[in-house]
Amino acid sequence: MAQTDAANVADLQFELEAQDLKTRGFWSDAFKRMVRNRLSMIGLGIFALLAITAAFGPFLAPYPYMLQNLDRVAEGPSIDYLLGTDDLGRDMLSRIMWGARTAGIVAIVSTMFSVTLGILLGGVAAYLGSWADWLISRAIDVTMSIPQLLFASLIAATFRKPVADWVDMMYARTGLGFFATPTYVDLVVVFGALALIQWPGYARLIRGQILSLREKEFVEAARAVGVSQLKILLRHLIPNALGPLIVAVTFGFGGAIVAESGLSFLGVGVQPPQASWGAMINDNQLSWRYRPWLVAVPGLTIAIVALGINFLGDGLIDALNPRQAES
């Protein structure tokens, strides 16, 4: 009887240990470490606030972002206008909330494009090697040697008119209202410009990760059983490089928001009257000495969002670091 009870206890203990192993894992442990990091949670809160504002801000804004009140021009913060009004009598809070949508859309779409391009080119370069690696590596070096904002400005200024002409032609042929909105032209140009300056960083990261993974035992085993090179790349190598890529993408969101603001500030990004934080700074920079809040509010918004995303990225680095898991 005692031996039977001991065996039952041993079986129960084994089942509990197996259940614990199932519930614990790399991602769950990483999430717990991230929750314990206060700065990363602050960054996550700022990122969540940006996402909520981008999704619902236009519906929650107290006024339409283009509405002008010429009787309340360039006013300071008040009960009616919590962040004041600009030189055209438009509510700054409403424009900040609408600008969050512009920043969020640009950050998500341009980062998705650049990550996809970086994964494909970096993966091909690392796994195929030879001339493909040399060619893609040189393209990475050349692209990264050019100042990013300057390169993005050149791309945006070069392709804006051809894209606008094509949109006008499509509107004349189809009569669809979609092609009558110039905002889409601005966004498409900005998407393309930012994607073309950001992909080399992701490609270099994926290339380095795959170079360190392609000689691992599980890759050799896949080769031995006849798995094709494309399937090995897509099913084994790229998924195992996702940890560092997630961190890079997080920082990429912040970089895309700052870059979009820079392009709009220079006048080659999102064009007025569409709300953009960078364009708001450009529109009001001459009023800095007399009405500093017109520049300070969008500037501080960009700084807080970028800082919060950096906090989130630092937290992800600590959470996804295997050495951190062992300590």
Average pLDDT in the chain: 79
DSSP calls for 21-80: HHH--HHHHHHHHHHH-HHHHHHHHHHHHHHHHHHHHHHH-SS-TT---TTSTT--S-SS
Quick: pLDDT tens for 289-302.
888 888 888 999 99
Highest mean pLDDT among 15-24, 265-274, 299-308: 299-308
Task: Give the per-residue pLDDT at 180.
Answer: 65
- Does residue 217 carry a pLDDT above 50? yes
Quick: pLDDT tens for 109-135.
888 999 889 988 888 888 777 888 899
Residue 151: how many CB atoms within 10 A of its CB? 16
85 by DSSP, 3-state: which?
strand
Pick the residue with more confidence: 323 or 44? 44
Task: Give the per-residue pLDDT at 178.
Answer: 64
- Does residue 285 carry a pLDDT above 70? yes
CA distances to 26, 112, 209, 295 from 159, rounded to whole Å, are 44, 20, 34, 29
Q: Which residues, listed in sequence order, are joined to residue 91 by a DSSP beta bridge?
A: 85
Q: Which residues, listed in sequence order, are joined to residue 85 by a DSSP beta bridge?
A: 91
Report, as an integer, the average pLDDT of 98-102: 90
Task: Give the per-residue pLDDT at 11.
Answer: 47
Output the CA torsion sign for 289, 295, 297, 303.
negative
Task: Give the per-residue pLDDT at 303.
Answer: 92
Buried b (16+ CB within 10 A) or exposed e, 249-265: bbbbbbbbbbbbbbbbb
Distance (Å, whole) CA 18 – CA 24: 10
Q: Which CATH superfamily is domain 43-73+81-326 in?
A: MetI-like (1.10.3720.10)
Structural tokens at position 169: 């032609």
- Does residue 312 carry a pLDDT above 50? yes
- Does residue 206 carry a pLDDT above 80? yes
Please tell me the number of Cα atoms within 13 Å of 6 on its side-chain side: 3
- Does residue 209 carry a pLDDT above 50? yes
- Does residue 204 carry a pLDDT above 80? yes
Please report which confidence band the pLDDT of residue 304 belongs to, taking 50, 70 and 90 as the band edges: very high
Reported pTM: 0.78
Of the listed ranges 93-97, 312-316, 320-324, the one predicted with least confidence: 320-324
Ramachandran category for residue 134: left, alpha or beta (phi over 0 → left; psi -120 to 50 → alpha): alpha
- Does residue 12 carry a pLDDT above 70? no
Contacts of 176 (CB under 8 A, 6+ apart): 170
Task: Give the per-residue pLDDT at 14.
Answer: 43
Residue 173: how many CB atoms within 10 A of its CB? 9
Report, as an integer, the average pLDDT of 25-40: 74
Q: Which amino acid is at 305?
A: V
CA distances to 176, 185, 246, 270 from 315, rounded to whole Å, are 46, 36, 12, 32
Q: Percent of the chain scored above 90 by pLDDT?
A: 9
Residue 136 · residue 203 · CB < 8 Å: yes
